[in-house]
Chains A and B, each alone.
Chain A
């Protein structure tokens, strides 16, 4: 069986790059399967193949990587770990804790990753001072997407603070359109929560409450304000919001049925795909009141131990992932921004350029915080406990004051 598999791999490889004589290949577990992102990843594949390294593709989509993480566990338990795995935030640290990840220090030192990767991001790429993964991109989640024509028709311009935002929502609602397009799924509710928490409590409080899980901050007045603002937003979604896919919510904004959507930067792809231009057809701005800070999540490639140190092909792959050329090419397509701050923004559209500027600014001012909704603020157990409360509250199970108490207890139980 084993020999058979090896032969098949060799054949696959030979077909993939007939010219080069390959010695090693990488098996890559990832969940980038939709058209654009998979095509973007193909850039990396071709790059590696030109260096004589074959790419064995192991895509497993579903639930923002949850499905892939399940598969990863089965593979590791079976002693059959993939060579490289797409991973998010705390999953990387959890696996590093298990001692399963290869060390990329030599490469990182050689290429100077410490200087070009924002410190907030390094928290998820390093464990005990050792580089254990190569970040591909940075998604930021506190974006608002708006249909410019709808805003113009009700005489609203880009809101600069929370009150203006609420006033704008009110105007749109009065005009008979849907003010806020939203899909009622736990992770989408939580995505809104990211932005709202930043706007209601500011980045310093966000760090204390959501990241450090300080009970006093968690149960503080900022949390109450956050939940109250969530209730306000709840008043501006249509009655059929529950269960809707996020891209259908985006479509509502694109079609002019709705004015705003709060969603991560991947939503841009939907707008561009529909032939819309940033600035003239749609607007992108941070959740009003959260300007200056960004909540981020980042996809990274972690290398699973073949031996103690990273194997040669793993090093080559990590290096290719971190090359400015790939970072730019990939992120232009993906909608996110490069993980390194020294990549030129020439190929990006206006929203992309804005995102890169704001990320760099937030990174230097220390206002770049991990997104709770996307697993970069606290471990999976805590994150999901927060999801439970946020989504229950957003669906009207209890009021803001109860939600504050619930979130404090839920976090305590989950820790």
Chain B
């Protein structure tokens, strides 16, 4: 539909105004990351830099003090990747399987089970910390990347199941029945019929999980170890300091850096993201 001209001006105006609202904090972060510290503490926090510098970025990446070592954020990037990739892959696959079973292989109380899984999205992470630590300790997974990934899978599977279930419930059941009549079994239908047409919702699920897991701090800090501490923990170490000098410019540079992978995912996959939501989670 195309609205008449005067209202189009209004529409563009509103959209532009909101774009400003969304961009404002980024503007503050970017400009401050390009200033020397003295300019920031001198009071010009929302102004453009008088003296442009890339030093904060270099520092955040490779020389800023994270702990005892002035390593910058660089080494932690890899830790995050090692945790995020399997956690996203497994939770997405589980979500797809669950969605498939819950819509195409219905059984008694399946909706109840789904409801229970959905409700699990609401559990505040703070309360699971201690029991989860005990569980990881008992299973020997404490302080490992595997343990960390497991935690993220557990608390992400509710969401991925929600996405896939809604997506698959719009998928014509007749196709599944037809395949069954042709002699296809449970797995064959999943691999050959369901998965090939799950591209869009998979994008949604991956983006969602990737963002959440990448940005998680609480679990990463509590269950990570020297060789598995993720990026956010390092960022937090860079940024949070109670009794030390605060280098705000380096903080902002580090924060943008830590967010780059997720931002990239949004910008690159943004179009598919909307398409995925379109095809899936929003169709009843």
Contact = CB atoms under 8 A, between A and B. Distances in A.
B79 to A, nearest CB: 12
A59 interface: yes
Contacts of A41: 68
A63 B240 contact: yes
A1 B41 CA distance: 47
B244 A34 contact: yes
A77 B130 contact: yes
B50 interface: no
Nearest to B129: A74
B221 to A, nearest CB: 5
Given A38-B68, A59-B68, A33 B226 contact: no
A328 to B, nearest CB: 19
Contacts of B242: 31, 61, 63-65
B34 interface: no
B255 interface: no
Interface in B136-187: 136-137, 140-144, 146
Interface in A235-289: 245, 247-248, 251, 254-255, 257, 264, 266, 269-270, 273-274
Interface residues on B, range: 35 or more
B65 A39 contact: yes
A86 to B, nearest CB: 11
B134 interface: yes
A59 B67 contact: yes
Contacts of B130: 73-74, 77
Given A33-B65, A36-B245, A61 B142 contact: no
Contacts of B143: 5, 75, 78, 80
Contact of A270 (B141, B233, B245): B245
A34 B65 contact: yes
Contacts of B141: 1
A214 B174 CA distance: 77
A61 B241 contact: yes
Contacts of A60: 221, 233, 236-237
A122 B247 CA distance: 35
A27 B67 CA distance: 12
Contacts of B133: 73-75, 77-78
Nearest to A40: B68
Interface in B206-256: 221-223, 225-227, 229, 233, 236-247
Given A38-B65, A74-B130, A1 B244 contact: no
A176 interface: no
B43 A255 contact: yes
Nearest to A272: B245
B42 interface: yes
A87 to B, nearest CB: 14
Interface string B95-137: 0000000000000000000000000000000000110111011
B69 interface: yes
B151 to A, nearest CB: 11
B232 to A, nearest CB: 11
B243 A61 contact: no
Contacts of B227: 5, 8-9, 12
Nearest to B247: A35
Contact of A77 (B134, B239, B247): B134
Contacts of B64: 35
B140 A2 contact: yes
Interface string A1-45: 110010011001000000000000001101111111111011001
Residue from A34, A41, A65 whose CB has the most chain B CB atoms within 10 Å:
A34
Contacts of A129: none
A34 B41 contact: no
B231 to A, nearest CB: 14
A55 interface: yes
A320 interface: no
B137 A5 contact: no
Contact of B226 (A9, A64, A67): A9
A70 interface: yes
Contact of B236 (A39, A62, A257, A269): A62
A342 interface: no
B66 interface: yes
B261 interface: no
A79 interface: yes
Interface of B: 38, 41-43, 64-70, 129-130, 132-134, 136-137, 140-144, 146, 221-223, 225-227, 229, 233, 236-247
Interface of A: 1-2, 5, 8-9, 12, 27-28, 30-39, 41-42, 45, 55-65, 67, 70-71, 73-75, 77-80, 139, 245, 247-248, 251, 254-255, 257, 264, 266, 269-270, 273-274, 335
Given A36-B244, A78-B143, A247-B246, 10 more contacts: A5-B144, A31-B237, A38-B65, A56-B226, A57-B226, A59-B67, A73-B129, A78-B223, A247-B245, A255-B43
22 contacts: A2-B140, A28-B68, A33-B65, A34-B241, A35-B64, A38-B65, A38-B66, A38-B68, A57-B226, A58-B67, A58-B225, A59-B66, A61-B242, A62-B240, A63-B242, A67-B221, A70-B129, A73-B133, A74-B133, A77-B133, A77-B137, A78-B136
What 8 pairs between A and B have smallest CB-CB spacing? Answer: A34-B244, A59-B67, A78-B137, A34-B241, A266-B243, A78-B142, A251-B41, A74-B222
